Amino acid sequence: MIRRILTRIGTSVLVLWGAVTVSFTALHLTPGNVVDVLIGSSIVTPEVRAQIIADYGLDAPLPVQYATYLGRVLRGDLGQSYQLHESVATAIGTQLGPSIQLAGAALLVAVVAATTLALLTARRKRWIRGLSSGLELIGVSIPTFWAAILLLTVFSFQLGWFPAVGDDSGSSLVLPVIAVAIPITTMLTQLMRESLELTLEEPFVLTARSRGMSDLGVRLRHALRHALVPAVTLLGWVIGLMVGSMVAVEQIFSRQGIGQLTLTAVSGKDLPVVMGVVLVTALLYVVVNILIDLLYLVIDPRLRSAA
């Protein structure tokens, strides 16, 4: 177990180092003067240009510039946005909360819905499983932005049940959460149902049934724990999918968040913000995968015994 932990820490460090290196390389491979690339479309004074050169060490050899940039990132200094007129860390920090709220709520809805659907459809009648599989195929095939527009049109413009834009109330979170959760729910449902069906054929399930345990009890107390393992494995990839989905969803519903900030930075050629978002996303990816490894210990008692 200790070896696994050390391996995970080493892999995480390599991922973060790779993200920093890619950001530095992108900065220097972008056509044009590095200072012009950093300030984007903003107009700055000669004093500010001189300060940028000093902060990034642009008058030094390239290895020294890389060491300077790496040191700044390790100190939490992601640079300055000369279009937003604030530090990149501040810009990301103010937008990170709404994105985490949206992602967390969508993930919770997806996990609960997928678990419920998998429990209700595993090893049921063929038409029930066929209907569920058809709905899952539709859900995973619909682009997130199209689902968001459809939800907005029906439940906001036509029925008026939820606000169309903004993030100032709990009701404004409902439609964005559903839009992000739809593809995640369909993928997790299919994976968990197949795992449940395999688990329900195991000998220990027959033993539990022979002791008089109800079908629901067998599914909840014995089969579900085994079905969660592959679903947890998929969560790391799902988080990456959610980041891409939130860019479109936050734009459609006019919500604050990292997706909205990234889109604005890309369209405005605000490279320091784009680089900062890349680094923060890599950090979140590492943290999520570490939490997933810890979640394995909660789900599988054999791993706890080995630890």
Residue-wise DSSP of 240-291? HHHHHHHHHHHHHTT--SHHHHHHHHHHTT-HHHHHHHHHHHHHHHHHHHHH
Q: Over 80: is that where the pLDDT of 180 sits?
A: yes
- Cβ contacts of 213 within 8 Å, gap of 6 or more: 221
Q: Please, are residues 144 and 180 in contact by the beta-carbon 8 Å criterion?
A: yes
Cβ neighbourhood burial of 119 (10 Å; 0-12, 13-18, 19+): middle
Mean pLDDT throughout 162-179? Answer: 77
Question: Residue 164's pLDDT is what?
Answer: 72
CA-CA distance, 181 to 241, in Å (whole number)? 11
Question: Residue 103's pLDDT is what?
Answer: 84
Q: Sorting pLDDT into bands at 50, 70 and 90, what band is 194? A: confident
Question: Residue 167's pLDDT is what?
Answer: 67
Q: Sorting pLDDT into bands at 50, 70 and 90, what band is 86? A: confident
Cα-trace Rg, the chain: 24
Higher pLDDT, 193 or 48: 193
CA-CA distance, 88 to 109, in Å (whole number)? 31
Following CA atoms 211, 214, 217, 222 in sequence, which dihedral angle do they give, to the nearest 10 degrees? 50
Count the alpha carbons within 13 Å of 59 in the hemisphere toward its beta carbon.
7
CA-CA distance, 256 to 245, in Å (whole number)? 14
CA-CA distance, 179 to 157, in Å (whole number)? 16
What would the pLDDT profile of 94-149 be if each residue is shown by its tens digit? 888 888 888 888 888 888 888 888 878 776 777 776 777 777 777 777 887 888 88
Question: Residue 96's pLDDT is what?
Answer: 82
- N-term to C-term CA, the chain: 5
Q: Is 59 helix (H, G, I), strand (E, B) or coil?
A: coil
CA-CA distance, 144 to 230, in Å (whole number)? 24
Question: Residue 125's pLDDT is what?
Answer: 73
pTM, full prediction: 0.75
Question: Residue 4's pLDDT is what?
Answer: 67
**CA proximity to 299, closest of 231, 240, 239:** 231
Which domains occur in the chain, in start order? 2-88 (no CATH), 95-267 (1.10.3720.10)
Q: Over 70: is that where the pLDDT of 247 sits?
A: yes
Q: Please, are residues 239 and 47 in contact by the beta-carbon 8 Å criterion?
A: no
CA-CA distance, 78 to 65, in Å (whole number)? 14
Q: Sorting pLDDT into bands at 50, 70 and 90, what band is 302? A: low
Q: Please, are residues 8 and 289 in contact by the beta-carbon 8 Å criterion?
A: yes
Q: Sorting pLDDT into bands at 50, 70 and 90, what band is 5? A: low
**CA proximity to 243, closest of 204, 218, 209, 277:** 277
Question: Residue 138's pLDDT is what?
Answer: 75
Q: Sorting pLDDT into bands at 50, 70 and 90, what band is 307? A: low
